[in-house]
Structure 1
Amino acid sequence: MSVKEDDINEGRRRFMMSGALVVSFSLFPGIKAMAQEVIADEGAAVHVAKETQTLAGSLKTNPFLDAWIKIDPAGKVTVYTGKVELGTGVRTALLQIAAEELNMAPSLITFLTADTGASPDEGLTAGSHTIVDSGSALLNASAQVRGLLVDAAAKHFGVDSSVLIVQDAVIKAPDGRTMTYGEAVGAVDLHRMATPVSPLKDPAKFVTIGTSLPRLDIPGKVTGGASYVQDMSMPGMLHARVVLPPVYAAKLLQTNTPEILKMPGVVKVIKDGSMLAVVAKGEWQAVQAQRALAAGSEWSPGRKLPDPADVHRDLKTISTQHIEIANTHNAAGAPVRTLSAKYSKHYMLHGSIGPSCSVAQFKDGTMTVWTHSQGVYPLRDALAEMLSMPKENVRCVHVEGSGCYGHNAADDAATHAALIAREMPGQPIRVQWMREQEHTWDHFTPAMVTEVSASLDAGGNIVNWDYALWSSSHNERIVNAGRLLPAQMLEKPFVPAPSTPMVQPEGGGDRNAIPLYAFPNMHVMNNFSPTMPLQTSAMRSLGAHMNVYTIETFMDELSAAAGADPVAFRLKHMQDPRARDVIKLAAEKFGWPRAARKANHGVGFAFGKYKNLMSYVAIAVEISVVRETGQVILEHAEVAVDAGQIVSPDGIRNQIEGGVIQSASWTLYEELQFDTTRIRSFDWSNYPILRYSAVPRSLNVHLINRPGAPFLGAAEASMGPTAGALGNALFDATGKRLRDMPLGGENLRRQIDV
């Protein structure tokens, strides 16, 4: 893969970080604001105090400055975030933001991520919100803290604050007198509410924001160091494995516990209803005991799964909530031609590289859980409910996990660890799920159906657009104990909170269902199913993957009907100037339109603005097709991105590149295998993913930097556009308009043979 350095509006001095960053955890209490109003994202509703609604980002919910920044008399600066590192590089980017406004070298700051015993409560790390919410909060909190410290120093020196220079936590007067942040903080109470206006630096003077610092999380990963919760080891730690039911709603009838207790290293077998686990001194001993325990356990039949052949048909029946999310009527030309199409997508699983893992210890009345959950505070609250413990006695500490991007089994493994640790006070308990458990009991991304109809007038303009989608929940995040899978299996089970649709403009299954294009007449319906034939929840981009795919492939069909070039057709219907900029840039870098191509090659183009709120992405691709196998190779891609003010150019490129590859895997190959008896994709042999042989030969990401503009989330922004571009390129290569994902592999081979 080759990645070009872009030169668009960079204007930033390169800054190399020296020294080392120390990451530790402390038990300072987190601070929350009084709540009056509610906002929502992919997790639980978040309460916002009326008096904090004008504050930036997560300052709305955590308005006190010392929730974000603490400075001790010795001058040690500690910065906190409630967000977590998921492999996206946000820990580095957030540190850059704080360092910029504090006028400090990043290496001088101790930076702590989500920990219910230390950090502000920022809910979930999801939905590409980290830089938008936590980054905006840190930008403003850091600027305000710096301003307060400089004002205190100015008062001490008897000079105007404008003449003082700040560098690396030292404030210097024109006459040479200095005061450290540690000295200045003695005259400042940082336990104060943030203000709506901050003394932000001129973006033209940034030295850290806009540069690509070496990522803090990479060294351990590439050298084999302990990097993940899966790598954790503690003195006296015991290893546990769980036995899960073979199918939904199966009840545990009988176990062979006496036999298991005689096995080498086995310490205990724990059973509570249908929650079954074995604890051993060694990890391999735990695995062997788990296998024997699973083989010797008997279960009730459970419930049948849906017939895969009927899933899309059944969605029309079970989707009982009909939500109109767009309805506009304006004067337009008379329609002369109408096109319609129907699209479908199958269930998919997360396929995390490392099966979910957690370590828990119940000691002195406190339950501490180390977890790769994307929401340590929601998890803490649910565990406290399940364990009947005060919230302050349950602490969840985030440790990065090997694999995530959505609601996988991280919270469930943490729940198992907590339940087992409660039965064995004082001893650290490590729980890791097995591969077949991670796949079989995943929170799958839902199957979907979309239907679209649109009309053109005599001038080739789209004059009306009618769109509908059918889907079950894309968001079963942890809002109560009943959403924790092991809690549902207890002798006294907890009941999951009801499934509810996520509201626009964020959306769930209907995320990005409203096109950004200017259509005079538009109607969009979200048909939501509150019941789920399979266990589903959030996966990267939620419904945006399917909706942008539908919109962008149908835009190509409409452009063909209008006799127009696909890029020119998009620009004709696009009024947003920033969207036009990325569309033009991607087309220019790709050399669109391409001349005649080789046989079995095709090109495609697509655009999307994630959630219509965040980053703009346009992508042009060239693919090749192996007709005998249906393999699709992404030969070349040019991607243009506008994420507002860029914090880390390399970080955004990494996320866009990874998103293109992951979306290609989803779009071309991934489909959950199951029948009416059970899930069949229990290992990698039954769940095809993109192979190394098919990754992009060349993938170039071009960034449009907008200094001083708000941060726009970019991590999930390329998922939908990539799917649309691939669908359009496949039509160009094969002449087949494919509308049922996955598009490649055996599905494509059969289509080509027709």
Structure 2
Amino acid sequence: MSEPIAPTRRTFLTGTGSLIVAFSLRPALAQQEALDGQPPPPAPHLPGSLKRSPWLDSWIRVDADGSVTVRTGKAELGQGIRTAVLQVAAEELRLEPARVRVVTADTEETANEGYTAGSHSMQDSATAIRHAAAQVRTLLADLAAARLGTEAAVLTVADGVVRALDGRQVTWGELVAGDVLHVEAQPASSFVPTDERRVIGTSLPRLDIPAKVTGASAYVQDLRPPGMVHARVVRPPSPGARLRALDAAAVERRPSVIKVVRDGSFLAVVAEKEWAAITAMEALAAHATWTEGAALPEADRIFETLAGLPVEEHVVHDSRAAAGSPARTLEATYRRRYQLHGSIGPSCALALFADETLTVWSHAQGMFPLRAALAEMLRMRPEQVRCVHVEGSGCYGHNAADDAAADAALIARAVPGRPVRLQLMREQEHLTEPCGPAMMTRVRASLDAAGTIVDWDYAVRSNTHLTRPPGAGNLLPAQLLAEPFAPPRPKPLLQPEGGGDRNAIPLYRLPNARVLHQFVPEMPLRVSALRALGAYVNVFSIESFMDELAAAVGQDPVAFRLQHLEDARAQAVIRTAAERAGWSDRQRARNRGHGFAFARYKNLGAYLALAVEVEIARETGRIRLRRAVAAIDAGEAVNPDGIRNQVEGGIIQSTSWTLYEQVTVDRSRITSRDWSTYPILRMQAAPERIEIHILDRPGEPFLGTGEAAQGPTAAALGNAVADAVGVRLREIPLRRDVLREALT
């Protein structure tokens, strides 16, 4: 952890002796338009995140000593993005990976790439870095050619040195005097040829793993800067509760306590020692009186409540035509209860307020949106706030990390000059974090006499899946202040990616289809993004129903899917997963079943097909995933082992969601306060065997991997249960008590 520093690019630009090489064709084109009256041709689109940050030195920095820094606005969340972008940059710069340093998500160091979400890190950031690195290599080769008096085409570039045929050479460090990399990127780049690549396509060991497995400092929870103090917050006991009275005098007199911080219903304590902060927090909670807010829905009426709320209807797909003569029509509904992120480490942040500036170290997934929210909450200018990403212990989605950052910022302002470490307690994380929304789907389809789908009608009902910052009203602490910030009105996310309707449009050939998104603005519980968003439930619903349709016409589920697909890459992953799993030779056994599912994430990202085998304990209803075999096509594979990590982790996480996880409530508050009241998959229940088969596509665009497995895993499990015992469970989680009752 370092003190705030002045931005490097600003330092260069305000220094003396800098050479800025920057150009733009826009004025010339504008003049041409004025002369001939014709609009200029549209400029080619820059690839990836270069559209938002087109300067090469936003992504690649070469210092006078020849050291190279790669900067990505995406955050390392355990998905291995630091390693992957390093590989991409090292390949195109023709450098050994050990010579490349990677900086992630820092509002003073990196480009603004928004949130690290939606499996966009490779698609957007790695693509931008690949082009930037290739163009930097070309630019430096051109500068070397001018210095050496030769043609760039005859030079060789390797490990930061440019060599001529006669042996003369110049280093990159000698070429970067001034600011020669402050150049706008071009739409096209000259990449290292596929047959010459040495780094892309190899399983380079992950940069983030050694510290995690050796117990070194790996997470924001591990940071301990000099002079640090500890803080804890007292959260309201229920949603909407307000602090009515507080007697803090005894707490303030405790040894080690530095200050009690109160602003409206925001309440916290700062102490020199962590245990002192925890015990002071407990004492404060005992001396606080609250006015409780509105009641929550009845636990056994969650779906009735959701069904009764007003909706905004959006038709997201409509290809209705004259349907063939249906021979059979089926209809089903599927449901998913509220679920938590369940981060293994409770959310944490560090903040330092000094010299009218604020620096926050956080594991939230969007440093620039977080900066905007904190600046608004504290009524500071954004340039007075710096947010630095440090990896957190567990989460994909919008958990309580942003709230913890806001807690730390408010407390740091009350004790200027001291780094403040704020960590939530387990029950605070569980009881106040945004949940993954409860959802309901309804699907109806008709089949003709040949067993082909001739009509498809689908509707998904869901709350929003995005209440992240940049608004201060999206931060729970900001909502508790004496002058509170109101949450903005929830909005649906738009297609083609979508939110609740993500993956609601099947990739299958359905000539007569309609898909409806019933968006529910009112939120009975606080909700936001959980990994894969609506794709998890929509793929579960669609792929479960595909099995039901296949069974109705007596077809094999894999053959039925292939019959309705035209996408060759989709067919390839399905065939690969089926072949590697031995689908056609699968053995029938009592209480064991096999399931299959497929999806292309968002219909834009990675293709994934999955075959699973489960075992059912009839006397308890317990479902055990024994084996999973996946095939994935994520475009060009930069780090094959990293892809396997993501798919394996996605299968395990989705298995936990699908078999175990649901938020419980009473009429006033969430009751899932710990691991006993919110069980997750334990090691002894993990799959016995997981196989990941990668269909590498050298030269194809990166498609992203992180959320490809969530939906297919849920559907494959549901299909396997139905195959094993003939009972179709249509509600997530696939509860053992429901299955046991059905079996008895």
* TM-score, normalisation: structure 2: 0.94
Give yes or no for the alignment of 1:748 onto 2:731.
no
The residue that corresponds to 1:668 in the other structure is 659
Question: Letter of the aligned partner of 1:269 in structure 2?
Answer: V
Per the alignment, residue 40 of structure 1 pairs with none
Alpha-carbon distance, 1:187 to partner? 8.1
Aligned match of 1:459: 450
Shift in Å, 1:318: 1.8
Partner-residue secondary structure (3-state), 1:685: coil
Q: In 2 relative to 1, CA 30–733 (structure 1 residues): closer, same or farther, beyond 3 Å?
A: farther
Letter in 1 for 2:326: P
Deviations 1:227-258 (A, max 9, x none): 11101101111100000000011110112201
Instruction: Give the drift of 1:332.
Output: 4.8
Residue 630 of structure 1 deviates from its aligned partner by 2.0
1:599-620 Cα deviation digits (max 9, x unpaired):
1100000000000000000000
- Quickly say closer, same or farther: Cα 1:434–1:553, change in 2 above 3 A: same
Q: How far apart are residue 308 of structure 1 and its match?
A: 2.2
Alignment partner, residue 449 of structure 1 = 440
The Cα shift of 1:331 comes to 5.0
Say if 2:221 is the partner of 1:236: no
Structure 1 residues 264 and 627 mapped into 2: Cα distance closer, same or farther (>3 Å)?
Answer: farther
- Give the superposition deviation at 1:53: 6.6
What's the counterpart of residue 509 of structure 1?
A: 500
Paired-residue identity, %: 54
Unaligned runs of at least 5 residues, structure 2: 11-21, 27-40
Question: 1:274 is matched with which residue: 261, 265, 271?
Answer: 265
Alpha-carbon shift at residue 27 of structure 1 (Å): 3.4
Residue in 2 that maps onto 1:99 = 90
Deviations 1:403-439 (A, max 9, x none): 1110000010000100011011101111000000000
Deviates more, 1:544-553 or 1:249-258: 249-258
Partner of 1:18: none
Q: Secondary structure at the match of 2:554?
A: coil
| SS of 2:444 mapped into structure 1 | strand
Q: 1:579 to 1:26 in 2, by over 3 A?
A: farther
The residue that corresponds to 1:79 in the other structure is 70
Which string of whole-angstrom CA distances, capped at 9 and with x for unpartnered residues, describes residues 359-381 of structure 1? Answer: 10101111000100100000001
Spell out the pairing of 1:514-593 with structure 2 (5 A cutoff).
514-593=505-584
Q: CA RMSD in A?
A: 1.8
Distance 2:601 2:5 in 1: 36
Task: For 1:582 and 1:415, locate their aligned partners in 2 and report how far apart those are by CA, in whole Å.
Answer: 44
Partner of 1:27: 6
User: How far does the alpha carbon of each residue in 1:334-380 deviate from its partner, in whole angstroms, 9 at most, with x for none?
Assistant: 11100000111100001100000001010111100010010000000
Distance in 1 of aligned mates of 2:9 and 2:469 = 20
In 2, are the aligned partners of 1:152 and 1:187 still within 8 Å (CA)?
no
Is the contact made by 2:370 and 2:402 (CA closer than 8 Å) also made in structure 1?
Answer: yes
Asked whether the 8 Å contact 2:44–2:187 carries over to 1, the reply is no
Cα shift at 1:29: 5.7
| Residues 602 and 732, structure 1, Cα contact 8 Å, conserved in 2 | yes
Moved more, 318-327 or 307-316: 307-316
Measured against aligned partners, the alpha-carbon deviations of 1:500-530 in whole angstroms (never above 9, x if no partner) come to 0000011101100000000110000000011
Q: Can you list the C-alpha shifts for 1:597-645, whole angstroms capped at 9, x where unaligned?
A: 2211000000000000000000001000112222211111110000000
Contact 1:30/1:120, CA 8 A, preserved across alignment: no
Residue from 720, 732, 739 that aligns with 2:723: 732
1:478 aligned residue (460, 463, 469) = 469
Cα offsets for 1:109-168 (capped at 9, x unmatched)? 221111111111100001100011000000000000000000111122222212111111
CA distance in 1, matches of 2:548, 2:564: 14
CA separation of 1:283 and 1:350: change in aligned 2, threshold 3 A: same
Partner of 2:618: 627
Match of 2:150 among 149, 159, 174: 159
Instruction: Confirm or deny that 1:202 pairs with 2:181.
Output: no
Greater shift after overlay, 630-639 or 541-550? 630-639
Would you say the 8 A contact 2:60–2:71 is kept in 1? yes
Output the CA distance in 1 between the equivalents of 2:329 and 2:426.
Answer: 48
Q: How far apart are 1:260 and its partner, in Å?
A: 0.6
User: How do 1:362-401 and structure 2 match up within 5 A?
Assistant: 362-401=353-392
Contact residue 23 and residue 110 of structure 1 kept, 8 A: no
Residue in 1 that maps onto 2:699: 708
Task: Tell me, yes or no, if structure 1 residue 176 matches structure 2 residue 167.
Answer: yes
Is the 2:727–2:739 Cα contact (8 Å) retained in structure 1? no
Q: Which residue of 1 aligns with 2:212?
A: 221
Give the conservation status (yes or no) of the 8 Å contact 2:231–2:421. Answer: yes
String of CA shifts for 1:256-279, please: whole Å, max 9, x gaps. 201111222111101000000011
Which has the higher mean CA deviation after the structures are superposed, 330-339 or 553-562? 330-339
The 2-side partners of 1:27 and 1:713 are apart by 33
- Structure 1 distance, partners of 2:359, 2:533, is 31
SS in 1 for 2:668: coil
Residues 661 and 678, structure 2, Cα contact 8 Å, conserved in 1: yes
Match of 1:320 among 311, 329, 342: 311
2:609 paired with 1:618: yes
Q: How many residues align?
A: 717
Q: 1:24 to 1:459 in 2, by over 3 A?
A: farther
CA shift at 1:563, angstroms? 1.4
Q: Distance in 2 between matches of 1:630 and 1:479?
A: 44
Does structure 1 retain, via aligned residues, the 8 Å contact 2:371–2:470?
no
Matches within 5 A, 1:268-417: 268-417=259-408
Distance in 2 between residues matched to 1:681 and 1:444, nearest whole Å = 11
Contact 1:479 1:497 (C-alpha < 8 Å) held by counterparts: no
Task: Tell me which moved more, 326-335 or 723-732.
Answer: 326-335
* 1:45 alignment counterpart: none
CA distance in 1: counterparts of 2:254 and 2:133, whole angstroms: 56
- State the alpha-carbon separation in 2 of the partners of residues 339 and 235 from structure 1: 65
1-side partners of 2:380 and 2:402: how far apart? 18
Q: Which moved more, 1:741-750 or 1:137-146?
A: 741-750
Amino acid at match of 2:723: D
Q: Could you say what secondary structure the match of 1:234 adopts? A: coil
Letter in 1 for 2:370: L
Say if 2:237 is the partner of 1:258: no
Distance in 2 separating the partners of 1:527 and 1:246? 32
Distance in 1 (alpha carbons) for counterparts of 2:713 and 2:79: 19
CA gap 1:124/1:583 in 2 versus in 1, 3 angstroms:
same
CA contact (8 A) 2:543 2:598 kept: yes
d(CA) in 2 for partners of 1:522, 1:180: 60
What's the counterpart of residue 118 of structure 2? 127
- State the distance in 2 between where 1:331 and 1:174 align: 69
Change (3 A) 1:404 1:30: farther
For the residue of structure 1 that corresponds to 2:608, the secondary structure is strand
SS at structure 2 position matched to 1:325? strand
Q: What is the CA–CA distance in structure 2 between the aligned matches of 1:290 and 1:84, rounded to whole Å? A: 31
Provide structure 1 residue ranges, at least 5 long, that are not aligned to the other structure. Answer: 1-21, 37-49
Q: Are the equivalent residues in 2 in contact too, given 1:230–1:402 (CA < 8 A)?
A: yes
What secondary structure does 2:433 align onto?
coil
Letter in 1 for 2:217: A
Residue 34 of structure 2 aligns with which residue?
none
> Structure 1 stretch 583-592 or stretch 247-256: which is displaced more?
247-256
How far does residue 329 in structure 1 lie from its aligned partner after superposition? 2.5
Letter in structure 2 aligned against 1:306: P
2:683: which partner in 1? 692
What displacement does 1:748 show? 2.1
Q: Secondary structure at the match of 2:177?
A: helix
Letter in 2 for 1:734: V
Following TM superposition, by how much is the alpha carbon of 1:479 offset from its aligned partner in structure 2, in angstroms? Answer: 2.5
